[in-house]
């Protein structure tokens, strides 16, 4: 007999090793592809978040400028981030909500990478912990990131 049990046994081991090696190679390629997609997706999300922050910064800056034009003074925003209806002009005629268009200031999203928490808190000195930095005397507001 030309083909005995020993012949099939040797081929079986070779075929098993071949299939295992191809399977491992396939899994490594799939893992690398998934990793690349996740990295690209997270970068895209970071860009979208930064675009939102830029838009909200411009909206806040414009609202502060308009409030100042109408009332002659800058709004007192610190401590009233979540209730802009209470930020009123000295004569009580205008409130900041009317200029900004929302009752709350935009919350800057958290970032594990930058050690930043989700916050709309307004501070006077930049500490990069989230929220906003506001100089009431100058009327300037910027993200605290």
Summarize pLDDT for 72-82 with one digit per residue, the tens: 999 999 888 98
Tens digits of per-residue pLDDT, 9-57? Answer: 567 788 888 889 999 999 999 999 999 998 888 889 889 989 999 999 9
Q: Strand, helix or coil at 134?
A: strand
**89 exposure class (CB count in 10 Å sphere: 0-12, 13-18, 19+):** middle
Strand partners, 134: 141
Tens digits of per-residue pLDDT, 66-108? Answer: 999 999 999 999 888 988 998 888 888 899 999 998 999 999 9
pLDDT of 125 above 50: yes
- Tokens 């609202």 belong to 63
């Amino acid at each position: 007999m030309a083909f005995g049990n020993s012949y099939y046994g040797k081929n079986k081991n070779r075929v098993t090793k071949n299939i295992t090696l191809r399977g491992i190679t396939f899994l490594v390629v799939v893992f690398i592809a998934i990793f690349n997609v996740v990295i690209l997706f997270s970068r895209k999300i970071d860009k979208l978040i930064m675009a939102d922050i830029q838009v909200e910064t411009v909206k806040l800056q414009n609202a502060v400028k308009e409030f100042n034009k109408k009332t002659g003074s800058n709004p007192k925003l610190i401590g009233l981030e979540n209730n802009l209806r209470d930020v009123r002009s000295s004569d009580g005629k205008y409130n900041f909500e009317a200029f900004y268009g929302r009752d709350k200031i935009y919350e800057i999203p958290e970032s594990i990478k930058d050690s930043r928490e989700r916050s709309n808190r307004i501070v006077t000195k930049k500490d990069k912990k989230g929220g906003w930095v506001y100089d009431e005397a100058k009327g300037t507001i910027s993200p605290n990131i």
